[in-house]
Amino acid sequence: MTKSAAKRRVLTVVMDGVGVSPVTYGNAVAHAHTPNMQWLRGAAGYLELAAHGKAVGLPSDSDIGNSEVGHNALGAGRVFDQGAKLVQHAIDSGSMFSGDTWREIIQRVAGDGGTAGNSAHGKTLHFIGLLSDGNVHSHENHLYAMLRQAKKDSVRRVRIHVLLDGRDVGQKTAEVYVERLERILTELNSSDFDVRVASGGGRMVITMDRYEADWSMVESGWKTHVLGMGPVYPSLSAAIAEFRKDPALTDQYLPAFVISKSSSDHGPCGTIESGDAVIFFNFRGDRAIEISRAFIEDNFSAFDRGRRPDVFYAGMTQYDGDLKIPPRYLVKPPVIDNTLGELLASQGIRQFACSETQKFGHVTYFWNGNRSGYFDRKIEEYVEIPSDNIRFELKPWMKAAEICDETVSRMHSGAFDFGRINFANGDMVGHTGDFDAAVEAVATVDLMLGRLIDAAKKSDVILLITADHGNADEMFDAPPPKDGSDPYPYLPIANRPRPKTSHTLSAVPLFVFDPKGIVKMRTDIAKPGLANLANTTLSLMGLPQQAGFMPGLV
C-alpha cells in the first residue's frame, strides 16, 4: 500500500443538533450528564462556530441552520448560496417562470391559454410540499408566488397537497399556515381559476421519508395525493379541527386526509391523473427524493403504485444531481465542486464515513457536495447503520453505540486517515419536543465521546468534535422566567411550556482534541463557521491548506 501523504489521522465527529446556549431553561444540552464535554473544555482547543444564516449560505442571519447546509459547509470548506436563497432569487428575478420547465408545465396544463382545450381534458397543475415558513425544506411564499403566476399564465385548475410541519416551526401551528393559505386561495379563486387543497397529512406520517428509512410513508402519500384514498373532510380547516380533538397529536404526526368535492359529493376533489403536471415545491433534497422516484421511475419496486398516471413531474430543484432526480426542475441547485472529500481522494488519502440511516446521507451525499457515490471506492469506506423504525423519543440512544463500535474498531486498526461520523440523537430526538428524551439523547452522545477520546489516546487520532446546527439546546417555546429560575426537572410535564421542535440560531461547539497536547486555536478570525473546518482538517493532518477554502482555525 502506498504510504499516505497525511502526517496525522483525524476524525470529525458531528453531534447533530447540539448547540451552545448560555440559557439553561429548556436546554437539554445543559441539563444532560456530559462529563466528557466538560472535560474537553479544558483538555482540548475550543471555539464556538456559526452554523446558521449567512454562515451556511442562507438568506439572512434570522434563518435557522439545518443538517444539509451544515454538512455542505463542513465538506465544501466554502459557503454556497443554498435552497431558500436560490429559490427566492429565481422568483424575484423571474428566471423561474421564464425557464424551460415552467414553460413546459404551462404548455401542458394550460395548452391553448386556458380555453376549452384545458377544461375539456381536465388538466390540473398539482403542488405537493411542506406548508411552512420554517425555510428549511420549503417556504409558503414560494408556493404563493407560483399560484399567482399560474393564474397569470392561464392555468385554470390547481390542486394543492399540503404536508403539515410542526417540526421546523411550532408543534401545533398548522392553523396559522392554513389561515394564510386559505386567504390566498380566496384571493385567487375566480370563474376561470379553480384552486383548492386536495389532500394532506403530517410530514412524519406521509410522503417525506428519507434515506429509505420507511417507504410506507411514501406509499401512504402516494395513495393520498395521487389516488385520493383516505379519510375525507369537507375542507382543510375541518380536517385540522378534527385532529385537534386529540391533544397529544402534533402537526408533524397528523394523519393523512383527503378533501371532498362538495358537501353532497364526498369523492376526492383532486386526484392526480394522466395529462396533469406535478410540482414538488420543497427545495431541500433529502425528504423529496423518494416521492420523486415514485413519480418518475418506470422500474419502481418500493411499493405497488397501482394506477400510475402519466404526468409531467418537476422538483423545485434537482434533489440528487448524480442520479438526476428528478430530471426536470425549476431552480438549478448550487454547484459544489472540489470538496474536502474529493481533494483527499485525489491524493490517495483513505477516508471513512459512518452514521445511521437518518443521517447517513449527510456524511456522504451532502458532505461530498450533493454528490452520490464514492470518489475512489478503493480508498473510501462508507458504513450505514440501519435506523430503528420507531419514534425517536422512545429510544433516544438510537444507534450511537453501533456507530461508535464501527468507528473505534477502525481507529485501532488504522483503517482511515480521515474519518467523519454523525450522531443523530440531539437532532432527531430534539425534533420530537420531548425534553426528557432529549436530555438522555445528549447524554448518550457524551458517553460515546468518552469512548472516542479513549480510542484517540490509544490510536493517536485527532478528534475534531462539532455540530451542524442547534436543536436540543432550546426545547421550550417560551422565554425563561423573569426571575431567572430554572425549574426543570422538578416542574411536572403537564405544567411545562409548549415544546419547541425546530432548530435554533445557537452557535455550535468545536473541540479539537489532540492526544499529543492541547491544540492552539486561532482567535483572529471574525465569526468562524462550519466552512472553516475543511482547512482546519488539512492543517491537523499536516497537509497544505486549500486555496479558496475558508481559513483553518488552528
Question: Phi then psi for 476, rounded to 5 degrees?
Answer: -110, 135
Q: What digits encode the pLDDT tens for the residues 288-334?
A: 999 999 999 999 999 999 999 999 999 999 887 657 899 999 998 77
**What pLDDT band is residue 68 in, cutting at 50, 70 and 90?**
confident
Query: What is the model's pLDDT at position 120?
Result: 37
Residue limits of CATH 3.40.1450.10 in the chain: 84-197+269-331
Q: What value does the CA radius of gyration of the chain take, rounded to a whole number of Å?
A: 24
Query: What is the model's pLDDT at position 111?
Result: 67
Bin 76: left if φ > 0, else alpha if -120 < ψ < 50, else beta. Answer: alpha
Q: Is residue 4 over pLDDT 90?
A: no
Residue limits of CATH 3.40.720.10 in the chain: 9-82+335-540
Query: Residue 134 corresponds to which cell in the numbers above?
Result: 420554517
**What pLDDT band is residue 116 in, cutting at 50, 70 and 90?**
very low
CA distances (Å), origin 369, targets 123, 284, 341 = 37, 14, 9
Has 119 been annotated as catalytic?
no
Can you list the pairs that 371-375 forms with residues at least 24 positions away whose Cβ atoms lie under 8 Å? 371/321, 371/322, 371/336, 371/339, 372/320, 372/322, 372/323, 373/322, 374/345, 375/341, 375/342, 375/345, 375/346
Average pLDDT over residues 446-466: 98
Query: What is the model's pLDDT at position 119?
Result: 42
Q: Is residue 217 over pLDDT 70?
A: yes
> Do 250 and 171 form a contact (C-beta atoms < 8 A)?
yes
The answer to which of 7-21, 56-70, 267-281, 499-513 has the lowest mean pLDDT is 56-70
Query: What is the model's pLDDT at position 222?
Result: 98
Query: What is the model's pLDDT at position 484?
Result: 79
Of the two residues 524 and 115, the one the predictor is more confident about is: 524
Candidate CATH numbers 1.10.472.10, 3.40.1450.10, 3.40.640.10, 3.40.718.10; the one for domain 84-197+269-331: 3.40.1450.10
Query: What is the model's pLDDT at position 444?
Result: 98
H or E element, residue 243: helix 236-243
Q: What digits encode the pLDDT tens for the residues 173-197?
A: 999 999 999 999 999 999 999 999 9
Q: Is residue 59 over pLDDT 80?
A: no
**What pLDDT band is residue 212 in, cutting at 50, 70 and 90?**
confident
Which residue type occupies 159?
A: R
Query: What is the model's pLDDT at position 1?
Result: 47
Average pLDDT over residues 37-56: 95
CATH 3.20.20.70 for domain 9-82+335-540, yes or no, is: no
Residue 9 pairs in a beta bridge with 461
- Crossing angle of helices 83-93 and 140-152, in 10° steps, is 30
> Do 149 and 293 form a contact (C-beta atoms < 8 A)?
no
Q: What digits encode the pLDDT tens for the residues 408-441?
A: 999 999 999 999 999 999 999 999 999 999 999 9
Query: What is the model's pLDDT at position 115?
Result: 39
The answer to which of 12-16, 161-165, 411-415, 522-526 has the lowest mean pLDDT is 522-526
Q: What digits encode the pLDDT tens for the residues 383-409?
A: 999 999 999 999 999 999 999 999 999
**What pLDDT band is residue 83 in, cutting at 50, 70 and 90?**
confident
Average pLDDT over residues 72-96: 93
Average pLDDT over residues 334-348: 94
Mean pLDDT for all residues in the chain: 93
Find the catalytic residue in 4, 21, 67, 138. 67
Q: Is residue 554 over pLDDT 90?
A: yes
Average pLDDT over residues 492-505: 86
Can you list the pairs that 184-191 forms with residues at least 24 positions away whose Cβ atoms lie under 8 Å? 184/144, 184/147, 188/147, 188/148, 188/151, 190/151
Query: What is the model's pLDDT at position 477?
Result: 85
Q: Is residue 216 over pLDDT 70?
A: yes
